[in-house]
Amino acid sequence: SQQGEEDPQALSIQEGENATMNCSYKTSINNLQWYRQNSGRGLVHLILIRSNEREKHSGRLRVTLDTSKKSSSLLITASRAADTASYFCALIMDSSYKLIFGSGTRLLVRP
Amino acid sequence: NAGVTQTPKFQVLKTGQSMTLQCAQDMNHEYMSWYRQDPGMGLRLIHYSVGAGITDQGEVPNGYNVSRSTTEDFPLRLLSAAPSQTSVYFCASNPFQGAQPQHFGDGTRLSIL
């Protein structure tokens, strides 16, 4: 499969702790995107990182990209109960403009 | 600002019935796509469109048809519903082909008995 493989599948942490989710892929990419999905809702875009970028920040979110290892990570710092959601990485491959999603990480932040 | 609007939100069909899932966006985006999400899984691309009059297949197109007569609308048709098509369907749009973040609707939850 060319889609992103996410690790872990599920993560449970205490409020205030940091959460790290990883995404690995198999082919060259144009860019990699992270999305969040609250239960019963559509996906919301968080961050887009291009293949020539190594790190991006947005508020409490930090995304890294290592194209040599074909992997990306999403770090959420100082987590809050409201961060409870599923998080998906999605890839745009070099040879296509279709967005290919991983299977997601389910994050539970305990108050 | 409505963004991407999907109707209906819920639908129950019998095997063999046909129906159309509606998707409309008010952001003048060229690129629109349909995904299905099965329990515990990510989204899989069904069909997509890069502009009015142009559509193409994604990963799982069988059993579905699309058309794009206007920039705003991108309906998804199930020709003869099967239980395997029970899923949550999401429509998304973005201004350029893949290189920009996609905006998603809230989904249509479809059950086929």
pLDDT at residue number B107 = 96
pLDDT at residue B2 is higher than 90: no
Q: Are B42 and A41 in contact (CB < 8 Å)?
A: no
Interface test with B, best of A58, A91, A97 (most B CBs within 10 A): A97
Q: Are B97 and A3 in contact (CB < 8 Å)?
A: no
Summarised one tens digit per residue, pLDDT across range B4-24 is: 999 999 999 999 999 999 999
Q: Are B42 and A103 in contact (CB < 8 Å)?
A: yes
B3 Cβ under 8 Å from any chain A Cβ: no
- Considering only CB atoms, which chain B residues are within 8 Å of A41? 106-107
Reported confidence tier of residue B105, pLDDT bands at 50, 70, 90: very high
Summarised one tens digit per residue, pLDDT across range B64-96 is: 999 999 999 999 999 999 999 999 999 999 987
| Residue segments in chain A with a per-residue pLDDT below the cut of 50 | 1
Summarised one tens digit per residue, pLDDT across range B22-53 is: 999 999 999 999 999 998 778 999 999 989 99
| Pairing state between β B87-94 and B108-112 | antiparallel
- Considering only CB atoms, which chain B residues are within 8 Å of A3? 42
For chain B, how long is the longest CA-to-CA vector? 39
The token duo for A43 is 């996906």
pLDDT at residue number A1 = 47
The Cα–Cα gap between B111 and B11 comes to 6
Option in A33, A42, A97 nearest B106 (CB): A42
**pLDDT averaged over every residue in chain B:** 93
Measured from the Cβ of residue A71, the count of other Cβ atoms closer than 10 Å reads 18
**Residue B70 burial by Cβ neighbours in a 10 Å radius (0-12, 13-18, 19+):** exposed
Q: Are B106 and A98 in contact (CB < 8 Å)?
A: no
Chain B: closest CA distance from residue A101 (Å): 6
